Amino acid sequence: MAFAFEEEALPKKLNFYVWRRILKYALRRWKLILLLLLCIIIVTFYDSAFIPLMNKAAIDSVENNLTADFTSFLIPVDIYGIKFSVTYWGYVFILIGGIFLRSIAILFNFFLMNYIAMCIVMDLRSDGYKRIQELSFSYFDRTPSGWLIARLQNDASSIGDLLSHGLTNMIWIAFEIIFTLITMFTVSWQMSLVIFITVPFIMIISPIFELKILKKHRLARSAYSNFVRWLAECIAGAMTIKTLAIENQVEKEAIEVTEDIRKKMFAGRKVNAFFQPSISLLSSLATALVITFGIYVFNANESSYIISISTLVLALGFVSKIYSPLQSFFEIFAEFMSEQASAEKLLNLIDTKPSIEDSDEVIKKYGTLFSPKKENYELIEGHIKFDHVSFSYLPEIEVIHDLNIDVPKGTSLAIVGETGSGKSTLVSLLARFYEPTHGSILIDGKDYRTRSIGWLRTNIGFVQQNPFIFRGSFKDNIAYGKLDATIEEIRKAAMLVDIDSFIMSFKDGYDHLLEDGGNELSTGQKQLISFARAIIRNPRIMILDEATSSVDTETELTIQSAFNMILKGRTSLIIAHRLSTIVNADRILVMKDGVIVEDGNHHSLMRKKGYYHRLYMNQFKELTIDEQISTYEAQIEGMKLDNKI
C-alpha cells in the first residue's frame, strides 16, 4: 500500500488581498469591534502606562520621605502630562478601582472576541454552503465531498478563530507597545535607547525561526494526515489483509509511517528548542544592559543626569513588555501565513460560479433559488422535446449525439441501454443538472432556459437509484418534497405508494425518528419513501432513474404497482436496468453510445428482434423459473390495471 503524501506549499509572502477580503467578515460587526477596541485600549493603557507611572510615583515619594510616615504625605503623580496628587489611601483606592475596571474590560474583551469569532465562522460557513447549494452537478463530479467538508468545517473554524483571536492579539500588542514606548520615553529616553539596543536582533531572528518552525510543522502535519489515510485504508481492508496474509508487510509499513511522523515532529521541536533560548538570551542581555547602565549612571555623580531607583525598576519591567509582545507578534504572523492556503481555498469555493445560471431576465421574473417569485411560475403541462441535443462532459468527449425526441404530455417514456449508453445523462439534462452543449430542450414549446431552475425543479419529481433518507421522522422525510404539506397530504402520498401501513406499524407512526440514513429500513422501503417524497408535490413530470435496480423481485412488484398509480396522466421518463419493469410503458427508447438505436413499445420492439429483443431475452434467461413466472404475471397484472385506470 502506497503512503506517499503531498507536502503543503508554504507561501512566500502574506497575501494581503486574501486577508482583506476575510477581514470584511469581521467588519460586518463593526460596532462590536469598536467596543472590543475600547476594551483593549483600557487594559493596555492600564498595564503599560497607568500602573507603571503610579508605581514610579509611589516609589519616588517613599524614597524622598524615608523618615516620614508614608500614610501622611501626598504622592505626586504625572501621567502623560496630567498631574495630580493623592494620599496613600487615595492611591490604594485608585489601584483597586483600576483593577476592577481592567477586569471588566478583560471580561468584555474575551466575550466579544469569542462572539465575533463565532459570527465569522457562521458567516463563512453560511456563504460557503449557500454557494454549494447553487453549484451545478458538474462541480461535484470533480470535487470530493471530503474537500468541501474540510473547507466548511476545519478551514472556516480556524480562520474565524485566527481572525478574531489573532487580529485581536495583534491590535493588543500594537497598543501595548505604543503605550510602553510613550511611557518609556516620557520617563527616560536614555534608558529607552539602552533597551532598544537588542530589539533589532529579535526582529531579525524571530521571523526566521517562526518560518522554519511553520515549515517543519506543516511537514509533520502532512505526515500525520498521511498516517490517518493509511490507517483508514488498513481498517477498511482488514479482511483483504488477512486473506492475503500480508500482516508482516503492513507491520513494516506501520513502522515506516510512524517513524516518518516522529522524525518530522522532532525536527520542528528541535528548531523551537533553539528559538526559545535565543529569545531568553536576548531578553536577559537587555536586562543586564539596563542594570549595568543604570548602576553606572546612578554612581556617576559627575554625570549631568541621575537615574532614580524607580526609573531603573520601571526600565527592567519594560524589557519584558517589549520582548514578549514582539515574540507574540511574529508567532501570530506565522499563524496567518499558515492559514493563508486555507483562506484561499475557502474564498475560491465562495467565488466559484455555477456552470448553470439563470439569466438576469429570468431572475427578474422568476427570482432565484433562495428568493423565488412563485407567483410568476406558469403551470406546466408536460410536453417535452429534445431538439438536436448534444452534450459533452469534457470538450473532447461527446456522450449525447444530436438527439431528437418529442414526448407528448402524459406519455410514459422508458429509456434502456447498456451502461454508458447515455440514459442517466439524458434525464440529468432534462432536470437541468447539466445543460446541452448544443441544441435545446423545450418544455411546453419553450426553451427551458427561458424559465428559472427553481420553476423547473418544482415541477419535476426525481426518484434516484439510491434514495437518501434524512435524519428526521417519516413525516419530515416525505414533506421535504413539499415543505408546507399537511399531515393529510403526507399520508395520502404514502398511501399512493403503499407504505402508509408500514409507517403506522411504528409506535410513533409518522413521527418515528429515522437516524443514520434510515439504516433500520430496507432498500425497498427507502425507495417507497422517496416515491412519496416525489409525488407529494404533484409534479407534471416524473423521472425514475433505475429506481428498482437495488431491490428484490418481490419489492420490485410492490414498487411497480405504485408506478402504475403514480405515473398515470403524468409525463414520465423511466430509466430501467430490469427491462421487465417497463414492458407497459407507452414508449421505449433504446440507446447505445449516446444515440437512439430503436424506438417503440415493448411489443413492437420484441417483434423487430433487434437490439432491445436481445437485451430483454438475455435478462429473462438469467431469471429463475419462479422469477420468470412472477415477471410474466406482473406484466399481465400491469395491463389489467392499465385497462381499469
**For position 623, what pLDDT does the model report?**
53
**For position 305, what pLDDT does the model report?**
46
Residues 336 and 19: beta-carbon distance below 8 Å? yes
CA separation for the pair 562, 475 (Å, rounded): 19
**For position 630, what pLDDT does the model report?**
54
Query: With 60 as the cut, is the pLDDT of residue 636 above it?
Result: no
Average pLDDT over residues 225-252: 80
CA separation, residue 94 to residues 99, 100, 195, 497 (Å) = 9, 10, 30, 78
In the Cβ-directed half-sphere of 497, how many Cα atoms lie within 13 Å? 27
Under the banding of pLDDT at 50, 70 and 90, the label for residue 91 is confident
Under the banding of pLDDT at 50, 70 and 90, the label for residue 39 is very high
Helix (H) or strand (E) run with residue 447 in it: strand 446-447
**For position 66, what pLDDT does the model report?**
58
CA separation for the pair 1, 254 (Å, rounded): 11
Query: With 60 as the cut, is the pLDDT of residue 622 above it?
Result: no
Query: With 80 as the cut, is the pLDDT of residue 20 above it?
Result: yes
CA separation for the pair 37, 116 (Å, rounded): 13
Average pLDDT over residues 528-532: 86
**For position 196, what pLDDT does the model report?**
74
- pTM (predicted TM-score): 0.71
486 compared with 64, residue with greater pLDDT: 486
CA separation, residue 294 to residues 74, 287, 290, 298, 305 (Å) = 27, 10, 6, 6, 11
Helix residue ranges, H only, 237-304: 238-244, 247-299
Q: What is the pLDDT of residues 287-298, one digit of tens each?
A: 777 777 766 665
Query: With 90 as the cut, is the pLDDT of residue 268 above it?
Result: no
Query: With 90 as the cut, is the pLDDT of residue 43 above it?
Result: yes
In the chain, what percentage of residues exceed pLDDT 90?
Answer: 20
Under the banding of pLDDT at 50, 70 and 90, the label for residue 304 is very low
Under the banding of pLDDT at 50, 70 and 90, the label for residue 53 is confident
Helix (H) or strand (E) run with residue 402 in it: strand 397-407
Lowest mean pLDDT among 74-88, 164-178, 185-199, 379-393: 185-199
**For position 189, what pLDDT does the model report?**
78
Q: Phi and psi for 447 in degrees, rounded to 5? A: -55, 125
